Amino acid sequence: MMAAAGEVLDLERMRADVARVLECEPAGIGDDDNLIDLDLDSMRMLGLVLAWGNTGLPLEFSQLAEHTTLRQWWNVVQTLQAAQNA
């Protein structure tokens, strides 16, 4: 199940969601693995952005498309979460 409305998005939820769309185990995705090299394409990325946006996070596709690792994506999400809580 992808992140849902009202759910707080965290790194492990993101890892699980990426693993789900890549059809692999979350443990197989390292923080610094290049997600493109793991076969994450733009359509799957868009699905993740839409699902994570349903949590109330004002996330846009372009914000993630600039980056290729889960760690970089998590940094984007943390920045957005901090801005929401400011």
Q: DSSP secondary-structure letter at 80?
A: H
CATH number for 20: 1.10.1200.10
Q: Does residue 72 sit within a domain?
A: yes
pLDDT over 70 for what percent of the chain?
93
Tell me the per-residue pLDDT of 48-57, one tens digit each, with 9 for 90 and over: 999 999 999 9
Place of tokens 């693993």: 19
**Domain-embedded: residue 34:** yes
What's the domain range around 37?
11-85
Q: Please, which residues have CB within 8 angstroms of residue 22's CB and are 6 or more apart in sequence?
A: 29, 38, 39, 40, 44
User: How many domains does the chain fold into?
Assistant: 1
Segment 70-75 mean pLDDT: 98
pLDDT of residue 84: 86
Segment (H or E) for 48: helix 42-53
Structural domain includes residue 6: no
Distances (CA, A) of 37 to 25, 29, 45, 46: 16, 11, 13, 17
Q: Is residue 3 part of a domain?
A: no
